[in-house]
Structure 1
Amino acid sequence: MPKPKESVISKFYRERKEEKRRSKKDEKRRSKKDEKSRSKKDEKSRSKKDEKSRSKKEEKKRSVEFQVVCFTNKIQRLTSHLELHKTDYSSERGLRKILGKRQRILAYLLKKSPVRYKELISQLTIRELKRP
């Protein structure tokens, strides 16, 4: 029984698949060559630089000021969202949680370093904590 003629479309897709396979194989070959060509010294220097930049980023993320700024940005976004969607109670609950977290962090900062607390409050233009 003779084979039916292959349509132009199916031929196009078959050729396209073959091209993709070839390109993937070529990419794998190239990446292996690139890995071998790198020297160990370059890798060591890169890793040291990466560690330094990571440690600086982590320090910034851990700082109390950074956390307060992030919470303040979230609070501003949520308040603008809630102005449009007044019945979105789950977002309102999330906003209350974030407000509480920020309040606790600010209380901690006030205890540890009142000067930094005052600076942060003035930069972000937020109200001071109510003292009992």
Structure 2
Amino acid sequence: MKKRIPTLRTSIFATGLLIAGVASAQTQSQPMQQATPPTQGTTATSPTQSTVHAGSTGANSATYSTAQGQVQVNSTMGSTPSAASPPAFEQLANGKKYISKQDADAYPPLANDFLYASHNGDRITKAQYERWVKNLN
């Protein structure tokens, strides 16, 4: 006769312990921490809710209650880049026949698009710059 391996009993016992542990963890109370009062433009909320208010500065803020206390998140719109016309190629090239990465840093929109304008190169020719300027509009 084969010796039985008590897998069914073991799994039922383990499942029972797991359920008991979960139930015990859910019923334990944790000490409440003193919450700071909400600041202007915010309200206190439960951990699953958030409230967004427009403050007097135009910024949005949200306050979340967590186990460690309240967390306030503030956000504002970033400044928009200048839409002024780009400088002349000669001004950026500084007398050279190309614009280097360091030269492009003088005009932030070009610095941001440097790899695109240079076709993944290390310099921008006058033709590439004129094509890039044409695509700006």
Same fold (TM over 0.5): no
Rg larger in structure: 2
Which has the higher relative contact order, 1 or 2, with Cα contacts under 8 A spaced 6 or more apart? 1
TM-score, normalised by the number of residues in structure 2: 0.31
TM-score, normalised by the number of residues in structure 1: 0.32
Q: Whose strand fraction is larger, Structure 1's or Structure 2's?
A: 2
Q: Whose helix fraction is larger, Structure 1's or Structure 2's?
A: 1
